[in-house]
């Protein structure tokens, strides 16, 4: 048994099987996949990778399975391996390219069976009697045991919230994951939180709520990620990049392809290299555009073309970012209190109040080069029929 030192969890133990998996090319690729996409343009320390996050998830999954007396050693090993491999299907820049992969290949990052069956990793799993289909089911949360990795409250969330907080320096990732793990049990095939873990579960949801606008949906990150998504899409449409190859690539390789392009993608790469990002022409929430804005998610390029035509500029200089309708899956986590099964938002007044507050964090953006900002802002406001509201300026608005 070997150990490695992790800045979040301390010493993590590695047995011979997990060591061999870690040394496979499929796992080593995750060292070159940033956990937070382009958030390092906002937080310079946010350079941690999917690799170390995967080790952390494996460590927490091991802690939780050790508390479950009904599991045998083979089941514990299979889940430990699934935890280690849960992000092996992520493409470059993590979630940034996920929608592109799904659009062009119909595959999500949890669809990993084909990755697990091939190459060195496939041989390792086969030699150890591990079934790729079963591991994929765990990763997708389709099994009872897989709920430890993929459910309303899981070890994946526990690790990334604490880890992302640590590397960004944002002091919102205060999740007592050790307490939470100690208060989680299987009851009637459901992973539940006992009464003693409600406060720890509340801290997880509050942390996620605070991290969303500060880190995951910071406007600079969203602008940069929208730009690189369009650059990758441009390469795919020009057949310079095969979308089926995309999820097997890493951040440096993809960015170098973008950088070497002599067209639109290359122009965006030059801007990203020099942090000459597009600016916010419009940045509004549901209070100003209403939920009707969500209907444009499927026709974003058409809307961009219409706004650009109104201004008289190339559509490539208008980028629209409409996030999906905000949901907090953790609210549906089951809590066992006084022998009663309740949803977390029923057991906690704190959690119940977060749903509306989370919706208040939702923002859609229209981005454009600085020289077009005023004209694009006017055209975008007209298109989306933005309501006039009393504007309270914040420092982030001034920084633009």
Residue with the two structure tokens 């699934």: 82
List phi, psi (to 5°) of 9: -105, 0
Quick: pLDDT tens for 291-335.
999 999 999 999 999 999 999 999 999 999 999 988 777 778 889
Q: Which two tokens stand for residue 199?
A: 């406060």
Please say if the pLDDT value at position 236 is more than 90: yes
Quote the CA–CA distance of 292 and 295 in Å, as a whole number: 6
Query: What is the distance between the alpha carbons of residues 89 and 116, in angstroms, rounded to a whole number?
Result: 9
Let me know: does 47 contact 35? Beta carbons within 8 Å: no
CB 39, CB 218: distance < 8 Å: yes
* Cα torsion 158, 334, 95, 225: sign: negative
- Confidence at residue 230, expressed as pLDDT on a 0 to 100 scale: 97
Average pLDDT (94-111) is: 94
Name the CA dihedral angle for 137, 127, 73, 60, rounded to a multiple of 10 degrees: -60
The 3-state secondary structure of 105-174 reads HCCCCCCCHHHHHCHHHHHHHHHCCCCHHHHHHHHCCCCCHHHHCCCCCCHHHHHHHHHHHHHHCCCCCC
Proportion of the chain in helix, strand, coil states, percent, rounded to 5: 60, 10, 30
Predicted confidence (pLDDT) per residue in 199-229, tens digit: 999 988 888 888 988 999 999 999 999 999 9
pTM over 0.85: yes
CB 222 within 8 A of CB 41: no
- Mean pLDDT over the full length of the chain: 93
Question: Taking the CA atoms of the chain, what radius of gyration do you get in angstroms?
Answer: 22
- Which tokens go with 118? 């091939």
Please name the residues in contact with 38: beta carbons below 8 A apart, sequence gap of 6 or more: 93, 96, 221, 224, 225, 228, 272
Please give the Cα distance from 380 to 374 (Å, whole number): 10
Arithmetic mean of pLDDT, 79-107: 96
The 10s digit of each residue's pLDDT in 43-70 is: 999 999 999 999 999 999 999 999 888 8
At the second CATH level, the architecture of 2-169 is Orthogonal Bundle (1.10)
In a 13 Å sphere around the CA of 136, the CA atoms on its Cβ side amount to: 16
């Amino acid at each position: 048994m070997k150990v490695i030192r992790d800045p979040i969890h301390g010493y993590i133990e590695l047995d011979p099987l997990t060591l061999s998996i870690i040394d496979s090319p499929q796992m080593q690729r995750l060292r070159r996949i940033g956990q937070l996409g382009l958030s390092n343009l906002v937080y310079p320390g946010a350079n941690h990778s999917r690799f170390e996050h995967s080790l952390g998830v494996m460590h927490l999954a091991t802690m939780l399975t050790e508390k479950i007396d009904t599991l045998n050693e083979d089941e514990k090993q299979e889940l430990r391996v699934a935890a280690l491999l849960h992000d092996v299907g992520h493409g470059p820049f993590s979630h940034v390219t996920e929608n592109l992969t799904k659009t062009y290949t119909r595959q999500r990052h949890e669809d990993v069976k084909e990755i697990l069956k091939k190459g060195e990793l496939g041989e390792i799993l086969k030699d150890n009697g591990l079934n790729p289909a079963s591991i994929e089911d765990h990763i997708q949360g389709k099994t009872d045991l897989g709920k430890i990795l993929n459910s309303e409250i899981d070890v994946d969330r526990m690790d990334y919230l604490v880890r992302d907080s640590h590397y960004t320096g944002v002091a919102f990732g205060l999740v007592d994951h050790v307490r939470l793990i100690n208060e989680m049990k299987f009851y009637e095939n459901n992973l539940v939180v006992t009464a003693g873990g409600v406060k720890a579960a509340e801290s997880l949801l509050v942390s996620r709520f605070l991290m969303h606008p500060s880190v995951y949906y910071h406007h600079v990150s969203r602008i940069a990620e929208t730009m690189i998504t369009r650059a990758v899409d441009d390469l795919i449409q020009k057949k310079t990049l095969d979308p089926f190859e995309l999820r097997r690539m890493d951040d440096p390789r993809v960015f170098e392809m973008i950088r070497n392009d002599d067209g639109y993608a290359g122009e965006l790469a030059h801007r990203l290299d020099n942090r000459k990002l597009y600016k916010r022409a419009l940045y509004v929430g549901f209070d100003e555009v209403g939920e009707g804005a969500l209907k444009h998610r499927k026709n974003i390029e058409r809307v961009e073309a219409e706004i650009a035509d109104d201004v008289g500029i190339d559509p490539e200089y208008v980028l629209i970012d409409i996030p999906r309708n905000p949901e907090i899956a953790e609210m549906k986590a089951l809590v066992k209190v006084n022998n009663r099964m309740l949803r977390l938002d029923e057991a906690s007044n704190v959690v119940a109040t977060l749903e509306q507050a989370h919706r208040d964090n939702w923002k859609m953006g229209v981005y454009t080069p600085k020289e077009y900002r005023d004209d694009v802002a006017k055209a975008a406001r007209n298109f989306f029929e933005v309501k006039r509201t009393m504007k309270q300026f914040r420092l982030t608005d001034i920084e633009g």
